[in-house]
Structure 1
Amino acid sequence: MNIDWAALGTVFGVSLLITVALVGLFTVGIVGLAKQAPTARSAGSGAPARVGAYACFALCAAAVAYGIYLIVA
């Protein structure tokens, strides 16, 4: 049995990079929702932050769905 160490290292590196990027994107979404002050929520001035946070969550969901698609297909 031969192990292709270069391919294994590539898979490990890409997996690590994608994991860090996804966690970072999700964190940006959480921070975007948390930065709104209670008074700003009622005034509606936090709408751009909320939209950006939801966009981050949508990108995370799309990346997870694509990963599941790759596993199943």
Structure 2
Amino acid sequence: MNIDWAALGQVFGVSLVVTVAMVGVFTLGIVGTSRKPQGTRDGAAGAIAAGTAPTAVARTGAYACFALCAAAVAYGIYLIVA
């Protein structure tokens, strides 16, 4: 049995890079859609007011991140099936 270690290393490296990139892009999407805290108003501990809604630009970028993740998943499924 012969193992092509170079090819195995390439597959490992590409998988690692793509996984970290997709997690990062998905995280950017989560951050883009989350509410931003306003902070405390009277200085009392635990008296944080409700957060502000994300801007339209942040939401659009977040949706683009989610679309990129969905496209990567769809392409992976396509590669497995084809």
The answer, yes or no, to whether TM exceeds 0.5 is: yes
Identity fraction in percent: 73
Is the Cα contact below 8 Å between 2:35 and 2:52 reproduced in 1? Answer: no
The alignment's C-alpha RMSD in Å is 1.7
Q: Quote the offset at 1:34 in angstroms.
A: 1.2
Structure 1 segments of 4+ aligned residues over 4 angstroms from their partners: 35-40
Compared with structure 1, are the counterparts of its residues 18 and 39 closer, same or farther at alpha carbon in structure 2 (3 Å cutoff)?
Answer: closer
Query: Quick check: which has more Rg, 1 or 2?
Result: 2
TM-score by length of 2: 0.77
The unaligned stretches of length 5 or more in structure 1 are none
Q: Quote the offset at 1:47 in angstroms.
A: 0.6
* Alpha-carbon distance in structure 1 between the residues aligned to 2:4 and 2:51: 58
The unaligned stretches of length 5 or more in structure 2 are 38-49
* Alpha-carbon distance in structure 2 between the residues aligned to 1:2 and 1:34: 50
- Greater relative contact order (Cα 8 A, min sep 6): structure 1 or 2? 1
Note if 1:7 corresponds to 2:3.
no
* Alpha-carbon distance in structure 2 between the residues aligned to 1:35 and 1:17: 29
